[in-house]
Structure 1
Amino acid sequence: MELSTQKILAHNDGPVGRIILNNPERRNAISLDMWQGISEAFDQFSENPKIRCVVMSGAGDKAFASGADISQFKERRSNADAAEEYARISMAGRQKMLHCEKPFIAQIRGFCMGGGLGIALAADIRIASEDAQFGVPAARLSIAYDRLNLGNLVALVGPSKAKEILLTAKRYSGLEAEKMGLINSCVPISDLETAVADITDRISENAPLSMKASKLTINELMKDDSAFDGALVDQLTRDCFDSKDYQEGQEAFLNKRKPVFTGA
């Protein structure tokens, strides 16, 4: 897949779209051009009906993503105005991840810090190896995170634990992250790819419209009542019951065979 930067690699792996954060010399620190590449990759996977889910991982074995590329801060985030422009570009990438209608899985090994953790929080499912380390060192850099990133963190671990993570800038192990609900599961290093493959295999066999409805409805439930889009949720439900896949699911069940879903 052609993208505007070599620091983001993306390819189709059967029904799985794979994105690799490819900046291993800087422990996959996220530069501004990488945010653009992330946006492009999600656009292409979202438009491809053969892709059932997206998996993101980091190049090498040292990091998923160690955070934002601090070497760009003097040029790109030198003051409040520059920081706003940086946030505008990076926010576009975050929105692509959050609004992707297909299941998004973060496969995490090594460092997952700061902005890297923000990317992982945008995933629907997070699977990490035992050598993973998580943290938000914002307090050591005198920077602040926006509502989107903090909202995702608070939704997962609650306000008290979120404050502990931010105020102490402490690093947490994969097992600690699993215990607090920051990730779905922590597995031995040797089992990481197998654990993620088990999830993608299951997802790939399921009905795309049903998974889309489940994901987007849960996302709506996380919003304030005033922002909840009931019409969207109702339409997602109708789309499932009006689909050919609904008929296929019933026929497969009655005939005791595996269903073959097309997303139609």
Structure 2
Amino acid sequence: MPDGLRLTTDKMLAAKAGGIGTMTFNNPERRNAVSMEMWEAAEAILADFRDDPEVRVVVITGAGGKAFVSGADISKFESERASEEAVRAYNAQTERVYAMLHGFPKPTIAEIHGACVGGGTALAVCCDLRFCAEDSRFGIPAAKLGLGYGYSGMKRLVDVIGPAFAKEMLFTARLFSAEEARAMGLVNRVLPDAELGPCVAECAATIVANAPLTVRAAKAVINEVLKDESARDRAAVDALVAACFASEDYIEGRRAFLEKRKPVFKGR
């Protein structure tokens, strides 16, 4: 996919520019509620970003300014989730996207405007960094709908905000303000709406300019730290760190420092 904007479906947008891949949920009339078709497109977009060496950072956002993602598109339930088999297929598809994003080898940033509810919160938790606008609201309304919340999604939530806040969010099913979200560690920063996009763009550009192997190794090592001791792959961690020291970028970084210039990293 070349630089610039491409309409993947009428409800999903993908763009690449300056080393940043941007995926936009484009269903603003339904507050970016997500259909099966949109989840399938999201999987394809993320796979493309993952496999493109020119993409170093991925930004996830929602169109329209009123919502990041507001969960499943209920208007599609009759056609997409009317039978047990259809529900299993839908859940499997959403979990593939969540797992792909959570395990993504490159840094990911959620740019959150407005409502971030249900599947939106689950999606945001899968990202490495979460920046939101001051009017953003967060919640998981499963207890108001009689829905069960599965292990994988719950673990990702608990890893980010801890068990006490996860229990409050699930037990009460209420909406939490942006400041409450920051206090519980759900978001990194809260910004005026007009400043959110520029802040995310600046952060993404800063990451793009850094050594890709170092950034990728840092993400992988942090993910290993979060695992139980018995499940950690220390050999893989050591290999990633060793690869940084053996890279051309390590040489470039030292030279740039000595020459008092900005390094130009190539990811090798």
Structure 2 length-normalised TM: 0.94
Cα distance in 1 for residues equivalent to 2:66 and 2:234: 43
Which position in structure 2 is the counterpart of 1:246? 250
The alignment status of 1:128 with 2:127, answered yes or no, reads no
Superposition misfits of 4+ residues, deviation over 6 angstroms: none
Aligned residues of 2:116 and 2:138 also touching (Cα < 8 A): yes
The residue number in structure 1 matching 2:106 is 102
Aligned to 1:232: 236
- Of 84, 96, 101, the residue aligned with 2:88 is 84
- Aligned position for 1:168: 172
Matches of 1:94 and 1:121, distance apart in 2: 9
5+ residue gaps, structure 2, are: none
* Cα displacement (A) at 1:248: 0.6
Amino acid at match of 1:183: V
Aligned mate of 1:48, from 44, 49, 52 = 52
Write the letter of the residue equivalent to 2:33. A
- Kept in 2, the 8 Å contact 1:3–1:37? The answer is no
Change (3 A) 1:3 1:236: farther
1:79 CA displacement: 5.2
Structure 1 residues 50 and 150: alpha-carbon distance in aligned structure 2, compared to 1, 3 A threshold: same
Shift of 1:77: 3.0
1:190 aligned residue (187, 194, 200): 194
What is the rounded CA distance, in whole Å, between the counterparts of 1:82 and 1:143 in structure 2? 16
Contact in 1 for aligned 2:139/2:173 (Cα 8 Å): yes
Letter in 1 for 2:153: N
Q: Which residue of 2 aligns with 1:27?
A: 31
Residue by residue, what CA displacement relative to the aligned partner does 1:40-74 show, whole Å, maximum 9, x if unpaired? 11111112212110111101011001111122333
Instruction: Give secondary structure in 1 for the equivalent of 2:94.
Output: helix
- What per-residue deviation string (whole Å, max 9, x for no partner) do you get for residues 223-250 of structure 1? 2223212222111111111110011111
- Whether the 8 Å contact between 2:43 and 2:97 is mirrored in structure 1 is yes
Q: In the TM superposition, what is the alpha-carbon distance from 1:80 to its structure 2 partner?
A: 4.6
**CA displacement at 1:179 relative to structure 2:** 1.2
Residues 82-105 of structure 1: CA deviation (Å, up to 9, x unaligned): 322211111111122122211100
Choose from 1, 7, 21 the match for 1:17. 21
- In structure 1, C-alpha distance between the alignment counterparts of 2:101 and 2:163, rounded to whole Å: 23
**Distance in structure 2 (CA, Å) of the matches to 1:172 and 1:112:** 10
- How many residue pairs are counted as aligned between the two chains? 264
The answer to whether the Cα contact below 8 Å between 1:3 and 1:41 also exists between their aligned partners in 2 is: no
Pairwise CA distance, 1:167: 0.9
1:202 paired to 2:206: yes
The answer as to 2:130 corresponding to 1:114 is no
User: Residue 126 of structure 1 contacts residue 183 of structure 1 at CA under 8 Å; is this kept in 2?
Assistant: yes
- CA distance in 2 between counterparts of 1:6 and 1:198 reads 28
TM-score when normalising by structure 1:
0.95
Contact 2:8 2:14 in 1 (8 A): no
- Supply the distance in 2 between the matched residues of 1:14 and 1:257 (Cα, whole angstroms): 20
Query: Which structure 1 segments of 5+ residues have no match?
Result: none
Whether the aligned pair in 2 keeps the contact of 1:30 and 1:116 (CA below 8 Å) is no
Give the letter aligned to residue 105 of structure 2.
Answer: E
State the AA in 2 paired with 1:164. E
SS of residue paired to 1:158: helix
- In structure 1, the residue matched to 2:161 is 157
Residue type matched to 2:246 in 1? D
